Amino acid sequence: AQKVTQAQTEISVVEKEDVTLDCVYETRDTTYYLFWYKQPPSGELVFLIRRNSFDEQNEISGRYSWNFQKSTSSFNFTITASQVVDSAVYFCALSEAYSGAGSYQLTFGKGTKLSVIP
């Protein structure tokens, strides 16, 4: 069975610091998909990034970057020069084998609550 572990329950940083959110996953499939979602205090779930298992290229989007390492089954998320607006709960998620009904169901980690202090 697939599993996603986000060992950091809560992190606090001072504005402008860099912060890395860890995500470790378990899967028996050779093809799978990894995601990060952001849940700000307003409660909605915002898609940030998707990474396919066959694409190990790291990605940078503005202040956000993602480090995917198959050898350690990790998909870590770094925010550079954090801002107060980055305060949110961040979820890592995994989908693997086809679940039926045209779906690839997501298994979520328990989330990391990031607080950025001004």
Give the footprint of other proteins on this chain (CB under 8 A): 31, 33, 35, 37, 39, 43-47, 50, 52, 89, 91, 93, 95, 98-108, 110-111, 113
Q: How far is the CB of 43 from other proteins (least distance, A)?
A: 5
> Which residue has 């950025």 as its token pair?
116
Of 71 and 103, CB closest to other proteins: 103
Q: How far apart are CA 75 and CA 54, in angstroms?
A: 13
In the bound state with other proteins, the residue whose beta carbon lies nearer, of 35 and 76, is: 35
- The length of the chain in residues reads 118
Q: In the complex with other proteins, which residue's Cβ is closer, 11 or 80?
A: 11
